[in-house]
Chain A
Amino acid sequence: MERHLQEQTAAESADSGGTGRAGGLPHVAGAQEARSDDRMTLLLRLRAQTKQQLLEYKSMVDAYEEKTPEQIIQENQIEAKVEDLENEIEEVKIALEMKNLALARMQLSTALKKNLEKNDTMNSVLMDNMKHILKLNKLVMKSQQESWELEEKLLDVRKKRLQLKQASERKLLEIQTEKNKQKEDLDNVENSDKIKAMQKNLQKEIQITTVIQHVFQNLILGSKANWAEDSALKETVLQLEKNLTMI
């Protein structure tokens, strides 16, 4: 059920063997050097490997020394725990990276400092760069200040516009209230009692006049006088047609 396959080391031995058989003294010497170089590389590689493997074994031993919880944990809790542990790993890695970055920054700054102390501070490219950076920063600050002022102006104009709008709104409201008041007054006046009394009087007078007219007409008709010949009598009789309420 199981088989295994194998492959010999490809790079080193083949190469060194090939160059070794090239012939000639300088060739052989060169080949020997190449071989020892290769051996050195191999040894260094093996050293790195052994170190890494040692590190792995050490970490395994440390991990086993930690007490693992013996009680039976439920499924979903296991999931949560595993995720917590994975996140812990991530956090440790991130912390390591940040520390490396901080170290690199510190190293960079000390190297920079030493460089500046060593070189002639007036002529170095570094100083030119820094001066350029300062100039640009000043420009940036100035344009930021200008834009801030412009924004302030814009804000003021907008405020004024708002105030004007509010004032016009108020004025229109006033006009409307005035108009409403006028209409109310007119209605009041129309419905006031004085006018009602006056209207009643008017009606009464009209009725009295109508009655008097009727009396005159009947008088003239009753007197059997010929009213068609006399214009004044004619007028009085014919006034029956006019309805006094229409005057």
Chain B
Amino acid sequence: MSVLRPLDKLPGLNTATVLLVGSEDALLQQLADSMLKEDCASELRVHLAKALPLPSNVNRPRIDLIVFVINLHSKYSLQHVEESLHHVDASFFLGRVCFLGTGAGQEHHCILHRNTVLKLAHTYRSPLFFCDLEVEDFRATMAQRLVRMLLICAGHVRGVSALNLLSLLRTSETPPPEEL
């Protein structure tokens, strides 16, 4: 299939699946490991991908949450993510997509400006997190947050839906214009 659609398959019992999309394999692997180390009562499945569209021959479960990992140190990650965004159905953006910007801690290595990523997240109305995935502690905290988001998106938490969470996470300010 060329376009990812949410809720197109029946959910697996007690299972939650997250898809990490990003151009840096090592970072994704580390994040995946941290997420799997998290203690949660449901079964977690983590899928990693460099870019969408995903090959359609594989039988995969319903994807509950997509995390786009953008490395602020390289232009290519942003390009890959932007290209992959075309292959995601619009209804996914109702709370099942989030952006993760990494590498913001090292100012002198950053090529992408923070505002670029902010504007991207604002256009797609999705939450944006900044986290230095290289650092162990930050990665663990981020993994915890992502696992909680995943559980909500998969419907394992009673009374909170993905859309509800999205409006809770919404920031009210529009991003400032990009400084040239």
Contact = CB atoms under 8 A, between A and B. Distances in A.
B48 interface: yes
A3 B157 contact: no
Interface in A69-92: 82, 86, 89-90
A162 interface: no
Contacts of A11: 39, 41
A49 B43 contact: no
Nearest to A12: B41
B156 A5 contact: no
Given A2-B49, A3-B47, A5-B45, A52 B156 contact: yes
A130 interface: no
A45 interface: yes
B116 interface: no
Contacts of B44: 6-7
Interface string B148-180: 000000111111011110010010000000000
Most buried by B among A4, A12, A46, A48: A4
Contact of B41 (A3, A45, A82): A45
B125 A1 contact: no
A90 B161 CA distance: 14
A57 interface: yes
A86 to B, nearest CB: 7
Given A6-B45, A7-B44, A82-B125, A56 B161 contact: yes
Contacts of B45: 4-7
Given A9-B14, A86-B170, A89-B167, A2 B158 contact: no
Contacts of B40: 10
Contacts of B155: 49, 52-53, 55-56
Contacts of B170: 86
A5 B41 contact: no
Contacts of B50: 1
A79 B125 CA distance: 10
B43 A8 contact: yes
A2 B167 contact: no
A55 B162 CA distance: 12
Interface string B31-60: 010001001111111111111001100101
B158 A3 contact: no
B13 interface: yes
A175 interface: no
Interface in A1-51: 1-12, 42, 45-46, 48-49, 51
Nearest to B158: A48
Contacts of A12: 41
Contacts of B49: 1-2
B163 A89 contact: yes
B156 A49 contact: yes
Contact of A2 (B13, B39, B54): B54
Contacts of B91: 60
B7 interface: yes
A64 B26 CA distance: 39
B55 A5 contact: no
Given A2-B55, A5-B36, A7-B44, A55 B161 contact: yes
What are the 4 A-B residue pairs with the smallest beta carbon separation, nearest first? A53-B155, A52-B155, A4-B47, A48-B158
10 contacts: A4-B60, A5-B45, A9-B14, A42-B14, A45-B14, A49-B13, A51-B158, A52-B161, A55-B155, A86-B125
